[in-house]
């Protein structure tokens, strides 16, 4: 009888622990109010964005994610008297993530993504000289993230990434000047987001 009571007590404790374990919804929609990523000629862009993430049905330690960023920036180029503008820059960075310890209150994730950047640059020398180019970049990125699950649905996220831009090209819009192909560049990005699970 004593052994039976001990067994039942252990089963009760185990069942309670399992019942208390948080099960987070699979879908996570994130608003990105602050982000930055490298662009051509070793500069960077400030942007905003939105992201969607979904954990796999059979294992919540894995997920796929689709972030989209949009930004503009004006740079004062020290090499000449004028400005360099990055306009309507769009970055898409789909990838997969792995959460080694599963979904917890504080969750670490690592992942791999492929990014695509498209935008326009306008290089202006005061007062006359103007060059306009279309920017295209392709590459891979290794991402590290930290998620704070405030509730089962509300979460805060911080992510940084690092990787090579395999293809980088500036194409002259008016075909008056030369187009440029750059060798492999090192790309970095970081963003902060607020997420809602459903």
Give the pLDDT confidence score for residue 40 in this predicted structure.
Answer: 55
Q: Pick the more confident residue, 119 or 142.
A: 142
Integer CA distances (angstroms), 70 to 36, 39, 67, 88, 117, in order: 10, 13, 10, 7, 10
In this predicted structure, the answer to whether residue 17 has a pLDDT above a threshold of 60 is: no
With b meaning 16 or more CB within 10 Å and e meaning fewer, what string describes 104-125? eeebebebebebebebbbbbbe
Question: What fold, for 26-197?
Answer: Porin (2.40.160)
Contact residues for 182 (Cβ-Cβ < 8 A; gap 6+): 40, 165, 168, 169, 170
The whole-chain average pLDDT of the chain stands at 81
Where along the chain do its domains lie? 26-197
Integer CA distances (angstroms), 190 to 1, 76, 144, in order: 60, 22, 10
pLDDT mean over 138-163: 96
**Cα–Cα distance, 88 to 29 (Å, whole number):** 23
pTM for this predicted structure: 0.78
In this predicted structure, the answer to whether residue 147 has a pLDDT above a threshold of 70 is: yes
In this predicted structure, the answer to whether residue 126 has a pLDDT above a threshold of 50 is: yes
Minimum mean pLDDT range among 50-54, 94-98, 101-105: 101-105
pLDDT mean over 2-20: 46
């Amino acid at each position: 009888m004593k052994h039976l009571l001990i067994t039942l007590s252990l089963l009760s404790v185990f069942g309670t622990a399992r019942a208390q374990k948080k099960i987070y919804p699979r879908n996570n929609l994130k608003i990105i109010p602050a982000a930055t990523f490298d662009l051509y000629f070793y500069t960077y862009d400030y942007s905003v964005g939105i992201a969607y993430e979904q954990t796999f049905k059979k294992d919540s330690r894995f997920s796929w994610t689709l972030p989209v960023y949009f930004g503009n920036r004006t740079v004062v180029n020290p090499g000449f008297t004028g400005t360099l503008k990055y306009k309507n820059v769009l970055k898409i960075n789909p990838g997969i993530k792995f959460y080694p310890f599963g979904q917890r209150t504080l969750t670490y994730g690592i992942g791999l993504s492929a990014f695509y950047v498209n935008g326009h640059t306008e290089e202006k020398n005061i007062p006359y000289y103007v060059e306009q180019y279309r920017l295209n970049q392709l590459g891979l990125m290794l991402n590290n993230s930290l998620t704070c699950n405030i509730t089962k649905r509300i979460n805060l996220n911080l992510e940084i990434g690092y990787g090579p831009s395999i293809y980088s090209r500036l194409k002259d819009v008016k075909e008056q000047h030369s187009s440029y192909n750059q060798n492999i560049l090192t790309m970095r990005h970081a963003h902060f987001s607020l997420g809602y699970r459903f």
